[in-house]
Structure 1
Amino acid sequence: MNKRNFIFLLSIFLLILVFYVDVSTSTQNHTSKNILIGSFVGGRSHVNPMLDIAVLLYERGYNIILVATESHSLSLEYPTLKHVPLRARPYDFSYIKIVRESFHKEYNYKNLAALHEFHIKSYNYVFEVYKNTAEEFDVDLFFCDALLNDACLDVANALKKPVVGYTVNLNGRLLRTSLVLVDTFFGFEVPQTLPPNIQEIGPVMSEEYPSLTPELEDFLNGHKRVLYVSFGTRFFTTIENNNKLLKAFIEAIDKKIIDGVIWTLVLTSKDDFSPTLNLIDGTISCHESLYTGTPMLVFPFAYDQAGNAEKLKLNGVGLILSKLNLDVNDVISKIDLLLKDENVKKNVKRLKFLSMINSKRKYRAADLIEYTLHDSHNKGTSKGFLNDWIPKARFFEGDVNIYVALLSVIFGLRLIGIGI
Structure 2
Amino acid sequence: MQMKQSAIYRPVLLAMSLLIHHSSVANTNTEHIHSKPTPIETTQALPNLNVTGYSLVNLSSNTLLAQYNADEKMPPASLTKLMTLFIVYDYLDKGLIRSDEPVYISRKAWRSEGSRMFVEPDSEVNVGQLIRGVSIVSGNDASVALAEHISGTEEKFVELMNQKAKALGLNNTHFANSTGLPHKDHFSSPQDMNMIGTELIKQHPQVLTHTKEKTMTYNKITQDNRNKLLWKDASIFGLKTGHTKEAGYCLVAAAERDNQIMIATLFGARSEQQRDAVMTKLFNHAQHRFKNITIKQDNKIPELRVWYGDQSYLQPKLKAPIQLSIPNNQQGMIRTRYQTISTIKAPIKADQVIGEYTVYINDVATIKTPLVAGKSVSKQPLWLQPFEWITFQANQIMKILS
Q: What's the TM-score bracket when you normalise by the shorter of the two chains?
A: under 0.3
| Higher share in helix | 1
* Higher relative contact order, chain-length normalized (CA < 8 Å, sep 6+): 1
Q: Whose Rg is larger? A: 1
TM-score for the superposition, normalised by structure 2: 0.24
| Higher share in strand | 2
